[in-house]
Amino acid sequence: MLFGKKQEITNTETTVYARAKINLTLDVTGKREDGYHTVKMVMQSVALHDEVRVTVTHGEKKPRGIVVRCNLPYLPVDERNLAYRAAELFYESTGILLETCEIHIEKRIPVAAGLAGGSADAAAVLRALASLHAAGLTDEELCAMGLKLGADVPFCLRGGTMLAEGIGEELSALPDMPHCWVVLCKPPFAVSTKEVYQAIDAVDIRQRPDTAGMLKALDRGDFAGVCRRLSNVMELVTAAKRRQIGEIKEFLAENGANGTLMSGSGPTVYGLFSDEGRAKTAAKMLGRRFADTFLTETV
């Protein structure tokens, strides 16, 4: 008889930091038959992160399934959320029995900003579930899973300083970028990555990033050399449409940034600073005009 017998309840929980990325270089080198573009880009993780808490519950009287919660009320929490899709894909591809998987996203990375916020959350969910279920997946297996969710997810799984080729999934680890302070500023509009990739097909790209030079600068640990070579062909699309991109870059440069660039498809613009004080002051001043301004650092 079960009366009086304690039901076994096991909750397993972990919290993963989902870090934002910036692009130090971004070149679009071609287009595949499936419409995806080939790229060559140097990517860098920064300390700004979402906090992704994943709880897997066994044996409790809860409905089976994936539940996503988020502090931002306007973000979808169903299949449209990349974190939800990451969990779904994890259970489908591993064959692990899905009981209750609860995901809480404390969102700090601005949305649709060129900082890979959604991809970072997806990567965090894959890492969390692989660890909670002791799934024994290799990094390669996790990255292959991540790529099905988005081109930036494999990088978000690895992090650090990386050269990304293919459509973003062929990753080579680079020497860590010399530590610096990063001021991120997102003007108040969102950008669709898909539309920027579509628009770039019609652009005559005359000046491409010096990726080889960037790799050499990173090898030498040459911060000034890195700053001189910051370059993103997507500025040709996004900055051409929105003057605020250029204005923010100018403001950052005038206020002590050693280098400035738009990240990914935009619209976030960043400034790299060797001097923390100058970075703080620039962030404070920009923050008065643009609410989505953050002071962070490379990791």
Numbered residues of the known binding site: 110-120
Q: Which residues pair with 25 in a beta bridge?
A: 42, 231
Examine residue 265 and tell whether it contacts ligand CDM (CB under 6 A): yes
- The per-residue DSSP string of 173-240 comes to E-PPPPP-EEEEE--SS---HHHHHHHHTT----S---HHHHHHHHHHT-HHHHHHT-EETTHHHHHH
Give catalytic status of residue 34 as yes or no: no
Examine residue 113 and tell whether it contacts ligand ATP (CB under 6 A): yes
Using alpha carbons, list the distances in angstroms from residue 143 to 27, 139, 147, 212.
22, 6, 6, 25
Examine residue 168 and tell whether it contacts ligand CDM (CB under 6 A): yes
Q: Which residues pair with 259 in a beta bridge?
A: 272
Report what 112 binds from ligand CDM, ligand ATP, none; CB cut-off 5-8 Å by kind. Answer: ligand ATP
Beta carbon of residue 247, minimum distance to ligand CDM (angstroms, whole number): 22
Positions 246 through 265 that interact with ligand ATP (CB under 6 A): 264-265
Alpha-carbon 41 to chain mean position: 14
Beta carbon of residue 99, minimum distance to ligand CDM (angstroms, whole number): 29
Give the active site residue among 27, 50, 121, 152: 152
Tokens of 288: 């008065």
CA distance 80 to 211: 34
Cβ proximity to ligand ATP: between 234 and 286 the closer is: 234
Place of tokens 């989902």: 18
Q: Do residues 55 and 87 lie in contact, with contact meaning Cβ atoms separated by under 8 Å?
A: no
Give catalytic status of residue 176 as yes or no: no
Positive or negative, the CA dihedral 265, 216, 167, 176 is: negative
Q: Residues annotated as binding site for ATP? A: 110-120
Beta carbon of residue 119, minimum distance to ligand CDM (angstroms, whole number): 5
Please identify which residue in 167, 215, 236, 285 interacts with ligand CDM, judged by CB under 6 A.
Answer: 167
Place of tokens 């140097």: 42
Examine residue 214 and tell whether it contacts ligand ATP (CB under 6 A): no
Positions 98 through 117 that interact with ligand CDM (CB under 6 A): 116
CA distance 167 to 190: 22
Cβ proximity to ligand ATP: between 105 and 217 the closer is: 105
Positions 182 through 201 that interact with ligand CDM (CB under 6 A): 193-194, 197
Cβ proximity to ligand CDM: between 242 and 289 the closer is: 242
- Note the residues at the interface with ligand ATP (CB under 6 A): 75, 80-83, 105, 111-119, 121, 152, 193, 264-265
Active site (catalytic) residues: 21, 152
- Note the residues at the interface with ligand CDM (CB under 6 A): 23, 26, 35-37, 39, 41, 116, 119, 150-152, 167-168, 193-194, 197, 264-265
